[in-house]
Structure 1
Amino acid sequence: MNSTLAAVAPAPGIALQPLPLKDILPWAVFAGLLALLAIYFVGAEQGAFSLISGRYVHEFVHDGRHLLGFPCH
């Protein structure tokens, strides 16, 4: 057995405990909000629902818009 693998493997007789939902839920909500924010900036910003004036955001996410199938021109 490789000594580096033995160093990170749990000791025999120690059971791994699952993470409780109350510990995961805030991070899952945070990740979901970040994902929605990213989809907004890639899909809708600089369009009909623009919050930021100018074309900088649109040009920054332009290739991502086409990759994800959002119309742009």
Structure 2
Amino acid sequence: MLTTSSFPVAVAPVTIPVRELLPWAIFTGLLLLLAIYFVGVEQGATSLFPGMYIHEFVHDGRHLLGFPCH
């Protein structure tokens, strides 16, 4: 006789407390805002850094995301 079952055993989901998730969510949000700034705003009159180095570095990303630049 067959003594093992082929049905999967139910596993309880792991809960993630919001207290542990919130700092990572804030950190990720700040990194995304910083990336959007450099890709979308850092050029011309509003630039914080002199020259066009950052603009040229993210130039293709600007067009991919739909930001106008020229």
Which residue identity is paired with 1:52? F
Unpaired runs of 5+ residues, structure 1, are: 1-11
Count matched residues.
62
Write the mapping of 1:43-62 to structure 2, written as runs, cut at 5 A: 43-62=40-59
RMSD: 1.5
User: TM-score w.r.t. structure 2 length?
Assistant: 0.79
Q: Partners of 1:44 and 1:34 in 2: how far apart?
A: 15
Q: CA deviation at 1:48?
A: 3.1
Over 3 Å counting, the alpha-carbon distance change for 1:17 and 1:55 in structure 2 is same
Q: CA deviation at 1:47?
A: 2.9
Kindly indicate whether structure 1 or structure 2 has the higher relative contact order, using CA contacts under 8 Å at least 6 residues apart. 2
The higher radius of gyration belongs to 2
Which residue identity is paired with 1:69? G
Q: CA deviation at 1:19?
A: 0.8
